[in-house]
Structure 1
Amino acid sequence: MVATEHDVGRGRTNKSTEQSTVRAVAYVRMSTDLQRYSTENQLDRIRRFADGRNFEIVRIYEDAGRSGLTIDGREALQRLMADVTSGIPDFEAILVYDVSRWGRFQDADEGAYHEHVCRRAGITVHYCAEQFDNDGSIGSTLLKAVKRVMAGEYSRELSVKVFAGQCRLVQRGYRQGGMADYGLRRLLVDEHGAVKVELARGERKSLQTDRVVLVPGPDREVETVRRMYRLFTSGVGEREIAEGLNRDGIKTDLGRAWTRGTVHQVLTNGKYVGDNVYNRVSCKLRQRRTINDPALWVVAKGAFTPLVDASVFERARAIVEERTRRLDDEELLALLNELLRATGALSSLVIDERDDMPSSSVYRRRFGSLLRAYRLVGYAPDRNYRYLEINRRLRDLHPEVVATVVAGLEDAGGSVVRDSATDLLTCNGEFTASVVIARHRETAAGSARWQIRLDAGLAPDVTVAVRMGPGNTEPLDYYVLPRIDMTGPHLRLAECNGLSLDGYRFDDLGFFFSLAARATLTEAA
């Protein structure tokens, strides 16, 4: 998936002809890499339109393999809009194949907004394959509005069909995305169920007709999973189990030390008893990530070879459910009050560390916020204390994030040297990178803000900024910031920051990891 932009030779020398032509750029987009000839077909229609209307195409902006649901990730469109708003664009028109190539925005007004920005800069947008001229007339305005709604509706209908297809595959026992997790491996099979190959971490199937199933991993890992269940059902807590595994030198599937949370995931995941579970979390149409109610999960019982007996898994489930059974408000507050007397202070970290009470998220959902729950038990936390608690949690998270970045660069084929004192990363001996975590804050009006500190002392070539989401528990998105374009030591970000900053924003770090990829060059004779 690439976004490209290239100039087109003008090939016009007659002075009177040059004066009569209108300088234009073309924008083309295809949604997936499988649409191999889509952009070529679009350009063919755009060029015929330009020849018939006396436009001179001076540059082409191309987003290959990019969804039109949002402007995020569409680097070519972002560069185009940056050129439009630069104040000195060298073109007067933008030629697009049709309204859907401009975007399948779920909010039809978003596509209209981007076109309005162009028109305000004196640049017109022309849809070359539509049956109307974008001339501002009532008829064209109405048709354009309908087309925008239809483009967004197409994506919504396609999303429903794709989801239904994925649910059918899950019910037939096929794995839909995601890592196998500890003790399991992904096995590639063809459309008839014949075994092809075991997939390594990061590998994907190459044929649409192929399917993936889960199979037991190495005997050592399978025995470790069974050991966790034996200990847990005999009364040993998750934290004690994690400590025992770490003492024995056993690492997780990511090569890290075990924690209470990672052990808990193994003890509560249905895949270890052979169940294929899907739709626990959804993020449809590039909207916000949603944790779904168990009633919405799609479950296929006994789809895979189990690692533990069903009776053992059910005993473990019963222990967890009894510990986290639905308590009424008075019982929840009584537990919180007891914890306050035992510790003298409350925080989400203090609550989550207790094995014998619900997590902090339960209190947030039940009482609206932790602060309201604190007030109901007569506790008024100091604001600075909460600030320090969050900062401590983010400091503990930083080494894990850096390790994830190193693993991603190495998986892409890069060689990474990590400075043990500063965590500065040197990739392929060519560029340096620093990873920073930006804490989520809220203004008095409830708006989100992030403060990013660029390390002037280390002067990395690239700063990878991890912008945390509400609650500061999970990353929201990432900014890949080149030093050459950053003029100050600090950046203050809001939810939307304009193309000058949001042009560096990514939903994941795939683009940054690709910078470390190596290509073999064939020597020319």
Structure 2
Amino acid sequence: MVGHDKIGGSSENGHEVRNLRVAEYVRMSTEHQKYSTENQSDAIRRYASQHGLTIVRSYIDSGRSGLNIEGRSGLRQLIADIEGGEPGFSVVLVYDISRWGRFQDADESAFYEYRCRRAGVRVEYCAEQFENDGSIGSDVQKVVKRRMAAEYSRELSVKVFAGQCRLIEMGYRQGGMAGFGLRRELRDEHGRPKGLLGRGEQKSIQTDRVVLVPGPSKEVGIVRWIYRQFVEARNDEKAIAAELNDRGIFTDLNRPWTKGTVHQILINEKYIGNNVWNHVSFKLKQKRVANDPTTWVRADGAFQGIVDTTLFDAARKIIEARSYHLSNGEMLDLLRSLYKRTGLLSGLIIDEAEGCPSSKAYQHRFGGLLKAYKLVGFTPDRDYRYIEINRALRRRYPSVVADTIAGLERAGGHVQRDTLTDILTINREFTASLTIVRSFQTQAGSLRWRVRLDRGLLPDLTIAVRMNRDNCAVRDYLLLPSLDMDRHFLRLKEDNALWFDAYRFDSLGPLFEMAERVSIAEAA
């Protein structure tokens, strides 16, 4: 309930403090109407009125995610005004902890509050049932609330991703422009067409869906001409782009054609009707990463294609064959030369470069662009090492499962493995799932692990294999019973609570002992 006593304390002579100048901060993403900026502001103003406070400044972030501070101009301006000195107020009123932010690192949320407090301005959460007075009780509740806010975003992200995957497999388009020669068509919940969406337009009804359909016949004809020129006339992308520009034809963005824009048409499966998604991830506003093709979500034949599949396959073979005659050294020399000319590298820069194999060719030859970058001495601004670590752990997973099953069977246990879910049924008595947990380092150099507990399949036991600092060897094992775990994730440090040590082991011996069969006579 908003309005419980928190700020209206007493001064040294026992009189209640009145007419304190305060600011309000409100934030809304797209979550729920109760978090609209208007509703937050109304609640804050009622709170201020009940406590004799005067709101002199308002800072607003409308339609902004709370996962990080980037793009939140309201919060950034608030902190800048406070740290700039003489902001004109001594307290910031916020509706609740989640409106301050759903930062994935709870310490980040505390850090921004600390910056305000260090400058002499206190943050007060109007709808929370505690006073933000620096006491142990309030600090503990803030930590819990911050973790809950972060966990909400993580759980929501998992649900949204699963829903998007399902829609892709059903043939619906998820985000992005249609592309030259195609259009986005809006359909209702029964699949009936409602009309075409223009550039920048979005659906307004949640149950509506979007599919790709052929665009104007002139554009469709140009796309098919591009493929014929490339496959049959053997003209390269640069020559095709030059002819399109000479004819006064522009791209779907009303720009001149380039080698790269032609190349993208030649390699995109949407032109043969395939719905492919998850090429790139940007979950929870963290680092944008290029995903391994094995993780892509696809539905072949979801749309009406405008290019013959045979022609598309022929174009892809031509593109792939370009680098076959080049040795690894020659390909790297071309990439190194490009890096020296441009000062940086990306898939688009490679595709636009004259006389250089395509980015796809480097991916196939060297097992990924990042490996090719490393070989020529280029390090991207973002740290992509964890992609390689995750790939290595995925390759390791089958052998870890096999070794676990072998150990259980050597102990006399009987193991059944579900090929779809990898759930192990041991002695027909209990189930277990196995997960490999990579380590990561904080800025201070401490190790952290994030263990995912499968609350969907609900195994009786989660076997978490924690990796060491370099993620190249096993550090220890956690045998986590579902009955004692009520969360989707565990965030672990090197040293955890004493109760947690009961689940930690240096080997899987205790698990094997659980599966061991002992005769009744011997037990007696």
TM-score, scaled to structure 2: 0.61
| Cα offset, 1:186, TM superposition | 1.1
Contact 2:44-2:94 at 8 Å conserved across structures: yes
Q: Which residue of 1 aligns with 2:22?
A: 24
- CA distance in structure 1 between the aligned counterparts of 2:108 and 2:195, rounded to whole angstroms: 45
Percent of aligned pairs with the same residue?
A: 55
- CA distance in structure 2 between the aligned counterparts of 1:233 and 1:255, rounded to whole angstroms: 26
Contact 1:335-1:357 at 8 Å conserved across structures: yes
- CA distance in structure 2 between the aligned counterparts of 1:227 and 1:236, rounded to whole angstroms: 11
Contact 2:181-2:214 at 8 Å conserved across structures: yes
Q: Which residue of 1 aligns with 2:75?
A: 77
Match of 1:271, SS state, is helix
Q: Which moved more, 1:54-63 or 1:176-185?
A: 54-63
User: Is 1:366 aligned to 2:371, yes or no?
Assistant: yes
| Cα offset, 1:36, TM superposition | 7.2
Task: Identify which of 177, 183, 186 aligns with 1:185.
Answer: 183
User: Is 1:115 aligned to 2:113, yes or no?
Assistant: yes
Q: Which residue of 2 aligns with 1:143?
A: 141
- CA distance in structure 1 between the aligned counterparts of 2:180 and 2:338, rounded to whole angstroms: 38
| Cα offset, 1:369, TM superposition | 3.9
Q: 1:135 to 1:18 in 2, by over 3 A?
A: closer
Q: Which residue of 1 aligns with 2:254?
A: 255
Q: Which residue of 1 aligns with 2:63?
A: 65
| Cα offset, 1:166, TM superposition | 1.1
User: Is 1:196 aligned to 2:179, yes or no?
Assistant: no
| Cα offset, 1:123, TM superposition | 1.5
Q: Which residue of 2 aligns with 1:334?
A: 330
- Larger Rg belongs to: 2
Which AA in structure 2 matches 1:311?
A: T
- CA distance in structure 1 between the aligned counterparts of 2:16 and 2:103, rounded to whole angstroms: 37
Q: Which residue of 2 aligns with 1:243?
A: 242
Q: Which residue of 1 aligns with 2:228?
A: 230
Residues 178-225 of structure 1: per-residue CA shift (max 9 Å, x gap): 111111111111111111111122222221221111111111111111
Q: How does 1:279-294 map to 2 (within 5 A)?
A: 279-294=278-293
Match of 2:316, SS state, is helix
Which AA in structure 2 matches 1:365?
A: L
- CA distance in structure 2 between the aligned counterparts of 1:19 and 1:130, rounded to whole angstroms: 21
Q: Which residue of 1 aligns with 2:469?
A: none
TM-score, scaled to structure 1: 0.61
Q: 1:196 to 1:96 in 2, by over 3 A?
A: same
| Cα offset, 1:346, TM superposition | 6.3
| Cα offset, 1:60, TM superposition | 3.1
Contact 1:103-1:111 at 8 Å conserved across structures: yes
Query: Which residues of structure 2 form unaligned runs of 5+?
Result: 1-13, 343-348, 379-524
User: Is 1:357 aligned to 2:357, yes or no?
Assistant: yes
Q: Which residue of 1 aligns with 2:395?
A: none
Q: Which residue of 2 aligns with 1:274?
A: 273
| Cα offset, 1:299, TM superposition | 0.8
Contact 2:24-2:59 at 8 Å conserved across structures: yes
Contact 1:243-1:258 at 8 Å conserved across structures: yes
Q: How does 1:290-329 map to 2 (within 5 A)?
A: 290-324=289-323
Contact 1:31-1:67 at 8 Å conserved across structures: yes
Match of 2:235, SS state, is coil
Which AA in structure 2 matches 1:263?
A: V
Q: Which moved more, 1:131-140 or 1:73-82?
A: 73-82
Contact 1:216-1:305 at 8 Å conserved across structures: yes
Query: Which residues of structure 1 form unaligned runs of 5+?
Result: 1-15, 374-525
Match of 1:192, SS state, is coil
Contact 2:97-2:149 at 8 Å conserved across structures: yes
- CA distance in structure 1 between the aligned counterparts of 2:333 and 2:289, rounded to whole angstroms: 31
| Cα offset, 1:273, TM superposition | 0.1
- CA distance in structure 1 between the aligned counterparts of 2:154 and 2:335, rounded to whole angstroms: 47
| Cα offset, 1:169, TM superposition | 1.1
- CA distance in structure 1 between the aligned counterparts of 2:224 and 2:338, rounded to whole angstroms: 38
Aligned residues: 353
Q: 1:346 to 1:370 in 2, by over 3 A?
A: farther
- CA distance in structure 2 between the aligned counterparts of 1:344 and 1:20, rounded to whole angstroms: 67
Q: 1:326 to 1:274 in 2, by over 3 A?
A: farther
CA RMSD for the aligned pairs?
3.2
Contact 1:33-1:64 at 8 Å conserved across structures: no
User: Is 1:99 aligned to 2:97, yes or no?
Assistant: yes
| Cα offset, 1:268, TM superposition | 0.4
Match of 2:270, SS state, is helix
Q: 1:68 to 1:369 in 2, by over 3 A?
A: same
Q: Which moved more, 1:352-361 or 1:232-241?
A: 352-361
- CA distance in structure 2 between the aligned counterparts of 1:276 and 1:339, rounded to whole angstroms: 31
- CA distance in structure 2 between the aligned counterparts of 1:307 and 1:207, rounded to whole angstroms: 29
Contact 2:331-2:357 at 8 Å conserved across structures: yes
Q: Which moved more, 1:229-238 or 1:291-300?
A: 229-238
Q: How does 1:424-463 map to 2 (within 5 A)?
A: none
Match of 1:188, SS state, is strand
Contact 2:258-2:352 at 8 Å conserved across structures: no
- CA distance in structure 2 between the aligned counterparts of 1:358 and 1:200, rounded to whole angstroms: 32
Q: Which residue of 1 aligns with 2:126?
A: 128
Residues 370-426 of structure 1: per-residue CA shift (max 9 Å, x gap): 6549xxxxxxxxxxxxxxxxxxxxxxxxxxxxxxxxxxxxxxxxxxxxxxxxxxxxx
| Cα offset, 1:128, TM superposition | 1.6
| Cα offset, 1:119, TM superposition | 0.9
Residues 313-346 of structure 1: per-residue CA shift (max 9 Å, x gap): 122222222335698xxx2113455999xx9996
User: Is 1:88 aligned to 2:93, yes or no?
Assistant: no
Q: 1:71 to 1:345 in 2, by over 3 A?
A: closer
Contact 1:23-1:56 at 8 Å conserved across structures: yes
Residues 79-122 of structure 1: per-residue CA shift (max 9 Å, x gap): 32222112112222112111111111122112111111111122
| Cα offset, 1:127, TM superposition | 1.3
Q: 1:258 to 1:43 in 2, by over 3 A?
A: closer
Contact 2:102-2:149 at 8 Å conserved across structures: yes
- CA distance in structure 1 between the aligned counterparts of 2:102 and 2:371, rounded to whole angstroms: 37
Contact 1:23-1:93 at 8 Å conserved across structures: yes
Match of 1:236, SS state, is coil
| Cα offset, 1:356, TM superposition | 6.4
| Cα offset, 1:37, TM superposition | 6.7
| Cα offset, 1:353, TM superposition | 3.1
- CA distance in structure 2 between the aligned counterparts of 1:20 and 1:344, rounded to whole angstroms: 67
Contact 2:335-2:356 at 8 Å conserved across structures: no
| Cα offset, 1:22, TM superposition | 2.5
- CA distance in structure 1 between the aligned counterparts of 2:98 and 2:135, rounded to whole angstroms: 20
Match of 1:59, SS state, is strand
Which AA in structure 2 matches 1:215?
A: V
- CA distance in structure 2 between the aligned counterparts of 1:345 and 1:43, rounded to whole angstroms: 52
- CA distance in structure 2 between the aligned counterparts of 1:103 and 1:217, rounded to whole angstroms: 42
Which AA in structure 1 matches 2:329?
A: L
| Cα offset, 1:46, TM superposition | 2.9
Q: Which moved more, 1:134-143 or 1:46-55?
A: 46-55
Which AA in structure 2 matches 1:307?
A: I
Q: 1:260 to 1:280 in 2, by over 3 A?
A: same
Match of 1:176, SS state, is coil
